[in-house]
């Protein structure tokens, strides 16, 4: 008999399992996929670690979380500075003074401020995402960075999208092109899968094992079940299905040393069906004479698609809240992670929430 059956070998499940194992609990981790690491999984191909479910850059402002992950991997000092390609021009991104120089020729923060004030489309009551962005930055920036990219990502005209999707459009009036502001960031040297192997070291893991294939059997194996899968699936979709945005990744090998000179290049033109190209070797400063790249295509959501980004609109939030209410009543089951919480989390947030959950359980036991 196990103390904990943990459904999902992703960041939440693996962190929870590590902590409870270190506290002397007996844990079994299962995952329906044939590998550990959930969406952080990297596959090593000829020395290049391919981020199979999208580019993952670790970043956090929390020193405790940063120290925690250092126990399981050495991190390099990778800094994320994507580029944007639009109509055969390359732009610095996130939008900063150099980007504004490329578009308008402005050279100082004050010139940039004045230019933005001049080009923005004044509107005191923007009704949708397009109107809102135009009121902030004007047409040229909207066309280059937002219009096509957002239409591709959401498969909707930005006129039909609410402005809260892009809560704020960061425009930096300096030359800082570091995507994240966090104090700590990097990529685990040797890939995320290695980090997870260390995180799960000494813990029993069964892959290709679906909890729903025999729920009663799995429930009978342990005192408590930690569920990190989809909460709507857990409750057999009784209140309806939660929607996600999904993606298709097209990986390819190229017998050249460098394909695009950067880890991430966003393609913002509507006519190009993918949203970005990732060149994996740049995450670890690879020197191989060949390379692997991945094109990322947004796809229409279907029930058996891989869920990537939750769509936290009113309809889905209402459905989720009904599941959440049920889950609060459970005594055998513990829910955690991005699918059970139906929230987009970065990796450091998932680790933080698993560590917090373990702390709360400990406090309840010792109270």
Find out whether 68 and 144 touch, Cβ atoms under 8 Å. Answer: no
Return the number of the residue (33 or 79) whose C-beta is nearest ligand FAD.
33
* Helix pair angle (11-22, 347-366), 10° resolution: 40
Residues in 220-249 that interact with ligand FAD by CB under 6 A: 228-229
Residue 18 touches ligand FAD, criterion: CB under 6 A:
no
Among 4, 5, 6, 13, binds ligand FAD (CB under 6 A): 13
Q: How far is the CB of 225 from ligand FAD (least distance, A)?
A: 11
Answer yes or no: 296 catalytic: yes
Q: How far apart are CA 27 and CA 19, in angstroms?
A: 10
Choices 38-46, 93-101, 140-148, 283-291 (CB under 6 A): range interacting with ligand FAD: 38-46
Residues in 64-93 that interact with ligand FAD by CB under 6 A: none
Answer yes or no: 120 catalytic: no
Q: How far apart are CA 356 and CA 16, in angstroms?
A: 10
Residue 50 touches ligand FAD, criterion: CB under 6 A:
no
DSSP state letter for 220: H
Q: How far apart are CA 269 and CA 263, in angstroms?
A: 19
- Residue 191 phi/psi, 5-degree rounding, is 100, 160
Q: Which residues are registered as beta bridge partners of 184? A: 60
The contact mask relative to ligand FAD for 305-334 (x = CB under 6 A, - = no) is: ---x--------------------------
Residue 288: name the closest of 262, 264, 258, 332 by CA: 258
Q: How far apart are CA 125 and CA 72, in angstroms?
A: 50
How far CA 155 is from CA of 93, 256, 299, 311, in Å, comes to 23, 34, 8, 13
Answer yes or no: 86 catalytic: no
Among 205, 338, 342, 361, binds ligand FAD (CB under 6 A): 338
Residue 39 touches ligand FAD, criterion: CB under 6 A:
yes
**Catalytic position from the list 18, 83, 230, 245:** 245
Answer yes or no: 172 catalytic: yes
Among 18, 56, 194, 224, binds ligand FAD (CB under 6 A): 56
Return the number of the residue (106 or 222) whose C-beta is nearest ligand FAD.
222
Answer yes or no: 245 catalytic: yes
Q: How far is the CB of 90 from ligand FAD (least distance, A)?
A: 21
Among 16, 28, 38, 286, binds ligand FAD (CB under 6 A): 38
Among 7, 65, 84, 222, binds ligand FAD (CB under 6 A): 7
Return the number of the residue (159 or 248) whose C-beta is nearest ligand FAD.
248
Element (H, E) at 304: none
Residue 212 touches ligand FAD, criterion: CB under 6 A:
yes
- Residue 61 phi/psi, 5-degree rounding, is -100, -5
Q: How far apart are CA 188 and CA 170, in angstroms?
A: 27
Beta strands 244-254 and 291-299, pairing class? antiparallel
Among 4, 18, 19, 31, binds ligand FAD (CB under 6 A): 31
Residue 188 touches ligand FAD, criterion: CB under 6 A:
no
Alpha-helix runs per DSSP H in the chain: 11-22, 63-70, 97-104, 109-119, 129-141, 148-154, 192-199, 215-221, 231-234, 314-329, 347-366
| Residues that bind ligand FAD in the complex, under the rule CB under 6 A | 7-13, 30-33, 38-40, 54-58, 210-212, 228-229, 308, 337-339, 345-348, 350
Which active-site residues does the annotation give?
Answer: 168, 172, 245, 276, 296, 344, 346
């Amino acid at each position: 008999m196990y103390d904990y059956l943990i459904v999902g070998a992703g960041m939440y499940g693996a962190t929870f399992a590590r902590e409870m194992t270190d506290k002397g609990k007996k844990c079994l981790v299962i995952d329906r996929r044939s590998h550990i690491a959930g969406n952080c999984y990297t596959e090593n191909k000829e020395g290049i670690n391919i981020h199979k479910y999208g580019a993952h850059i670790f970043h956090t402002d929390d020193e405790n979380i940063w120290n925690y992950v250092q126990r399981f991997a050495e991190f390099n000092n990778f800094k994320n500075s994507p580029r944007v390609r639009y109509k055969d021009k390359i732009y610095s991104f996130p939008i900063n003074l150099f980007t504004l120089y490329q578009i308008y020729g402005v050279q100082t923060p004050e010139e940039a401020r004045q230019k933005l004030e001049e080009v923005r489309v004044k509107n005191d009551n923007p009704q949708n995402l397009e109107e809102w962005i135009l009121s902030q930055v004007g047409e040229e920036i909207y066309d280059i960075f937002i219009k096509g990219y957002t239409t591709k990502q959401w498969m909707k005209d930005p006129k039909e999208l609410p402005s809260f999707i892009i809560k704020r459009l960061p425009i930096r009036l300096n030359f800082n092109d570091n995507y994240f502001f966090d104090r700590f960031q990097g990529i685990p040297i040797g890939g995320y899968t290695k980090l997870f192997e260390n995180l799960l070291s000494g813990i029993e893991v069964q892959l290709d094992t679906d909890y729903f294939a025999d729920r009663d059997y799995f429930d009978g194996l342990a005192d408590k079940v930690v569920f990190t899968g989809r909460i709507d699936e857990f409750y057999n979709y009784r209140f309806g299905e939660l929607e996600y945005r999904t993606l298709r990744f097209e990986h390819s090998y190229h017998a050249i040393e460098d394909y695009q000179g950067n880890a991430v290049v966003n393609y913002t033109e509507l006519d190009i069906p993918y949203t970005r190209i990732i060149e994996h070797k740049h995450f670890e400063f690879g020197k191989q004479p060949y390379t692997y790249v991945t094109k990322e295509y947004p796809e229409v959501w279907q029930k058996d698609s891989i869920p990537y980004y939750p769509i936290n609109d009113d309809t889905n939030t209402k459905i989720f809240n009904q599941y959440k209410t049920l889950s609060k009543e459970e005594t055998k089951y513990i829910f955690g992670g991005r699918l059970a919480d139906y929230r987009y989390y970065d990796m450091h947030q998932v680790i933080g929430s698993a560590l917090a959950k373990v702390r709360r359980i400990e406090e309840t036991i010792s109270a």
